[in-house]
Amino acid sequence: MNSEPSEEPGTPQPPPERGTPVGRRVLLGTIGLGALGVVAAPTLQRVLEGFLGAAADKDPTGLTGLLPNGGGFRYYSVASSVPHKNATNYRLTVDGLVDRPKTYTLDDLRALPQTRLVKDVQCVTGWRVPGTPFEGVRLSRLLDAAGVRSTAGAVRFSCFDGTYSESLTLDQARRSDVLVALRMQDKNIGHDHGGPVRLYVAPMYFYKSAKWLSGITVTEHVKPGYWEDRGYDVDAWVGHSNGRDDEPTS
Amino acid sequence: MSLRAEAHTPPVNEIRRFGPVQRWVHRTTAALMGVCVVTAAFLYIPQFAELVGRRELVVRVHECAGLALPVPVLVGLVSRHFRADLGHLNRFGPHDRVWLRAALRRDKRRSSRPAAKFNAGQKVYAAWIAGASLVMLGTGLIMWFTHLTPLMWRTSATFVHDWLALTIGIVLAGHIGMAIADPEARGGLRTGRVSREWAEREHPLWRP
């Protein structure tokens, strides 16, 4: 009896010694792990944030800050370069639909009553910095000082990077947790964080807190700002906008 | 230039390792990957981000390079020689198991590292980097077209994209480091030819 498989003419035999397709398995396995990572990301992220946050406290090199979600702020600038301003050349103008347009120097702003808020900062891209102190002048105070006309409905912010802009409705702008901030993390705001003066809109995603604030213009209607022209929500309440459900910050 | 070209023309002791398609696929993929890595550094590392700014432009370049990354390989598929090399990379024989075991033991003796046209390390690298690039493409698209996917997906995709980017950066550095350490392997991808002696030493089971 012939137990060997017979060589039938016409049916091609698999070529000998082709080997196993391990490469394909590695490739598909990598893709599968990636998909699994997306599904498990919320859990993994929570665990890693806890671990890396603790590690960052004891890390003298600062290298943990470079790891994803290692805690801390990330620097985003939309302009190619941003001029540096200080107490001698910084000016903040308040104009538009107001009775008394005014220009403030840094010292003028420092002389006004200061409000300190300690809340989480939440970026729309996911990172969150817990318990960050901001200190500055309530925006409502500057608006009241300028005398907002009855036709006004919104406030527009411009920045000395020459590109960025933001808007709030008048009601949002008058909230007590919206500051023209001079200090952050109990230090004067440095250039990289939008200093010397930035907006701080505590209840909204951090893109509303425009850096390098140079102008406040009272207008009739809200005009979408820089990122909002690119698809972000204008009313950027943390946890209730941009398709996200983060815990509210204020 | 002409000297080097002449040095490589006599076929007496040289064998052909790669044709023009393989070389150009590698070259363009490497260039696109390079753009992805550099723009990623500009977007991600604060010191570089402060240096460059122009976030929107950098994002656009990063997106385009990432989207184009698989194109050279897809175009290369028209070539029979390229497909044959993909086959070599895909298929693992018994000798590859020996090679991987030796690599895990850090056994660098030639006799314990049998390899055909590609050694097992190169095969694993090729498969992994291809899969990882596709994961980066997928998560990148979720981050790019935010309106296409529901709520939490973008944050999750960002998480995977960030960590895999870091991993790819490290693995890529290893890949480049090994290439730097072996000028003749590099020459093989640049000119398409390698010396018979190198081939017999590094890839004893390869029958060109």
Are A50 and A126 found together in one domain? no
pLDDT at res. B1? 44
Q: Taking 60 as the threshold, does the pLDDT of residue A40 lie above it?
A: yes
- Please identify which residue in the block is written with the tokens 């698209």: B141
Whichever domain contains A191, its CATH number is 3.90.420.10
Q: What percent of chain B has pLDDT above 90?
A: 70
The residue segments making up the domain with residue A139 are 91-230
* Rounded mean pLDDT, A162-172: 90
B53 to A29: CB separation less than 8 angstroms, yes or no: no
A3 pLDDT tier (thresholds 50, 70, 90): very low
Residues in chain B with CB shorter than 8 Å from the CB of A44 are 159
To the nearest whole Å, the CA of B194 is away from the closest chain A CA by 25
**pLDDT, chain A, mean:** 83
Question: Which residue stretches of A58-178 are H helix?
Answer: 106-111, 139-146, 170-173
At residue A51, the pLDDT reads 72
Chain B residues close to A20, C-beta within 8 Å: 91-92
Its ipTM equals 0.87
Which one of A26, A129, A159, A193 makes the best mutation probe of the B interface by having the most chain B beta carbons within 10 Å? A26
Residue B50: predicted pLDDT: 74
Among B50, B152, B156, the residue with its CB nearest the CB of A75 is B50
Out of A30, A74, A231, closest to residue B128 by CB:
A30
Residue B47: which residues within 8 A CB-CB, separation 6 or more? Answer: none
**Residues B166-206: pLDDT tens digits?**
999 999 999 999 999 999 999 999 999 999 999 999 999 99
Regarding whether A140 and A30 lie in a shared domain, the answer is no
Task: Work out the mean pLDDT of chain B and round it to a whole number.
Answer: 89
Is residue A53's pLDDT more than 80? no
Please tell me whether residues A38 and A106 are part of one structural domain. Answer: no
Element of type H or E holding A240: none
Q: Assess whether A47 and A169 both reside in one domain.
A: no
Chain A CB within 8 Å of residue B49 CB: yes
Distance from C-alpha of B29 to C-alpha of B191, rounded to nearest angstrom? 17
Closest-CA distance, B117 to chain A, in angstroms, reads 13
- pLDDT tens-place string over residues B85-95: 999 999 999 99
A37 to B89: CB separation less than 8 angstroms, yes or no: no
Beta bridge partners of A218: A96, A155
Determine the distance in angstroms separating the CA of B179 from the nearest CA of chain A, rounded to an integer: 21
Query: Is any Cβ of chain A less than 8 angstroms from the Cβ of B53?
Result: yes
Q: Which of B132, B139, B146 sits opposite A38 (nearest CB)?
A: B139
Same domain for A28 and A100?
no
Measured between beta carbons, the chain A residues lying within 8 angstroms of B55 are 76-78
- Candidates B158, B161, B164: best to mutate against A (most CBs of A within 10 A) is B158
Domain-embedded: residue A124: yes
Examine residue A49 and state whether it is found in any structural domain, yes or no: yes
Out of A12, A33, A66, pick the residue that ends a domain.
Answer: A66
Using a CB-CB cut-off of 8 Å, the residues of chain A touching B59 are none
* pLDDT exceeds cutoff 50 at A4: no
Say if residue A61 is in the same domain as residue A163: no
Asked if B91's CB is within 8 angstroms of A22's CB, the reply is yes
Is residue A207, in this structure, part of any structural domain at all? Answer: yes
Instruction: Please say whether the beta carbons of A199 and A208 come within 8 A.
Output: yes
Tell me, yes or no, if B164 comes closer than 8 A to chain A by beta carbon.
Answer: yes
Q: Which two tokens stand for residue A224?
A: 């979408």
A70 has pLDDT over 60: no
A137 with A204, same domain? yes
Whether residue A120 is found in the same domain as residue A189: yes
Query: Highest mean pLDDT range out of A20-29, A40-49, A183-192, B105-114?
Result: A20-29
Cα–Cα distance for residue pair A219/A154, rounded to 1 Å: 5
Residue B83 one-letter amino acid:
R
Domain shared by A135 and A50, yes or no: no
B112-147 b/e (C-beta count within 10 Å ≥ 16 → b): ebbbbbbbbbbbbbbbbbbbbbbbbbbbbebbeeee
Does residue A5 lie within any of the structural domains?
no
Q: How confident is the model at residue B151 (pLDDT cuts 50, 70, 90)?
A: low
Q: Is residue A71 part of a domain?
A: no
- Domain tally, chain A: 2
On whether any CB of chain A is under 8 Å from the CB of B167, the answer is: no
Query: Is the residue at A244 inside a domain?
Result: no
Q: Measured between beta carbons, which residues in chain B are less than 8 angstroms from residue A17?
A: 93
Q: Is the pLDDT of residue B64 over 50?
A: yes
Domain contains A210: yes
Nearest CB among B53, B138, B142 relative to A77 is that of B53
Same domain for A117 and A217, yes or no, is yes
User: Are A53 and A104 in the same domain?
Assistant: no
Q: For residues B130 and A28, give the distance between their C-alpha atoms in angstroms, rounded to a whole number.
A: 9
Domains within chain B, CATH numbers bracketed: 14-202 (1.20.950.20)
> Mean pLDDT, to the nearest integer, of B80-84?
95
Task: Provide the whole-model pTM.
Answer: 0.69
A127 CA: distance to closest CA in chain B (Å): 9
At B192, phi and psi to the nearest 5?
90, -10
Task: Decide if A79 is inside a domain.
Answer: no
Residues A61 and A110 in one domain: no
